[in-house]
Amino acid sequence: MAAFFVSALFFKIVLVVLVFTITLVIAMYSTYGERKIAAVMQDRVGPDRAGPWGILQPLADGGKFFMKEEIIPATSNKFLFILGPSLAMLTALMTSAVIPWGPNITINGTLVPLQVADINVGILYVLGIVSLGVYGVMIGGWASNNKFSLLGAIRASSQMISYELAMGLAIIALLMVTGSLSLNHIVTQQSAWHGMRWNIIFQPLGFFLFIICAFAETNRAPFDLPECETELIGGYHTEYSSMKLGMYLFSEYINMFVSSAIMATLYFGGYNFPYIDKLAEVMNANLVSLIAVGVFFAKIFIFIFIFMWVRWTLPRFRYDQLMRLGWQVLIPLSILNIVLTGGGILFIQNLFK
């Protein structure tokens, strides 16, 4: 029993380190990908000097952040000024703990789940951690003792509160279909129909609402009002420099990666792909698991591309338009989606009585 516990703990630690590393690397190279995508859309080259095709540009940016002068305003609350970006980074990284990255694999006779924590309230955990993310922004903006930073922090907090309501209501409709709060159970359900019983089939409106709220939650354009340069200089991180600024900027890309993973998990089958069950009959189980992990990351990269595509396509909303969309459009649509979902479930239940 002790040997089994040590083995399970070792594999869990390895998985945590692996997920942490992959998250940071993907977030780092998302900055490079966004510059290249923006360059293509604007008919220019993009980064091309740091290594071949500019592939080392993210490392150069990270080195610059580390080596720049560390400035803490004299009138700021120094403890909270440092806590703000640290909290933003921490909450961004914690969200990935409940995401099932692939089917279980077997190593030396030990079954290893590719999920850091399989808790039965995984969706509540995600919503709770996402809600904590606003504190990093709010604390940083307030502690800076700068009116533009404070305005950016207030915008961010009110925006996140507004769009979290619609996001939560969209997830309630999904829970009515799945009957579970566990992300692992939701992905397993979507493995039916030869791996093609994806929730997007039953919840197209819910997914549409969720992805809009995901843009707002991550402060991505056209919902990047908290960082609106034309009005607020740099928003809530105006007074930040060096790696503390880098942590704020980096946490945005981590949130984008994690949001993409959650959307793929909830609505697009997670690691499931068409005829995964047939492939498992003729191929080694571990190899099928690795293919499933690759498919899952392919879905994530598609969503990351959509985040970047929208940023360089749509103009920024005015703040009154942002609030009106959240309260007068998305929340009523979310409630309508719940009503339609409930009606559809009752109709199907009565049909097959």
3-state per-residue secondary structure call for 271-335 = CCCCCHHHHHHHCCHHHHHHHHHHHHHHHHHHHHHHHHHHHCCCCCCCHHHHHHHHHHHHHHHHH
Report CA torsion sign: 193, 194, 199, 202.
Answer: negative
Asked if residue 142 lies in contact with residue 150, where contact means CB atoms within 8 angstroms, the answer is yes
Contact 267, 197 (CB under 8 A): no
Q: Which residues contact 113 (CB under 8 A, 6 or more apart)?
A: 100, 104, 184
Maximum Cα–Cα distance across the chain: 71
CA distance linking residue 87 with residue 197, whole number of Å = 37
- Distance (Å, whole) CA 285 – CA 223: 43
Can you tell me which residue has the tokens 């930073």? 149
Rounded to two decimals, the pTM is: 0.92
Pairing state of beta strands 110-114 and 102-107?
antiparallel
Helix, strand, or coil (residue 206): helix
Can you spell out the DSSP letters for 218-243?
TT-TTS-GGG-HHHHTTGGGTT--HH
Amino acid 72: pLDDT: 86
Question: What whole-number distance in Å separates Cα of residue 92 and Cα of residue 253?
Answer: 9
Spatial separation of the C-alpha atoms in residues 164 and 323, rounded to whole Å: 12
Residues of the chain falling short of pLDDT 50: none
Supply the pLDDT for residue 62. 87
Mean pLDDT in the chain?
88
Task: Count the Cβ atoms, other than its own, within 10 Å of residue 75.
Answer: 9
List the structure tokens of 343: 């009606």
Decide if 265 contacts 168 (C-beta within 8 A).
no
Exposed e or buried b for every residue in 308-345, given b needs 16+ CB within 10 A?
A: beebeeeebbeeeebbebbeeebbebbeebbeebeeee
> Which of 197, 203, 73, 202 is closest to 142 using CA atoms?
73
**pLDDT at position 77:** 86
